[in-house]
Structure 1
């Protein structure tokens, strides 16, 4: 199963694709430093996406609260092994 940060990273990438944004433009939309966002959204992220930024992304791009933390299945997890 993917980590919460892995899901957030995937969803943030999805937002950029949906809105045809690069990291520079997304940083401008969110009003945050481009280098900080790059550290979170690069192919090998060096920083986690904090809760506050996840909420800001959801609000800015009109996604429901908690959207960034839901996997492709809508957040339903069938974890048979407790991993």
Structure 2
């Protein structure tokens, strides 16, 4: 499955959890339909003629983190700034 197909299928899965009455839903739907038709820009398009996206498109990206990528308190605690007056 190429990156464009991954993005489209991920959006469809994401869309099921969205509130359709949200004003952004229509804008998102329009944008994804546009992406589905046009795909990624190529060097044939004037604004992209000096930029090749091939190296990005060829990568196999994971669009959702795996379940083993969890953050625990002990992982974050080392970045706390002691004596900093904040709400916890």
TM-score, with structure 2 as normaliser: 0.33
TM-score, with structure 1 as normaliser: 0.35
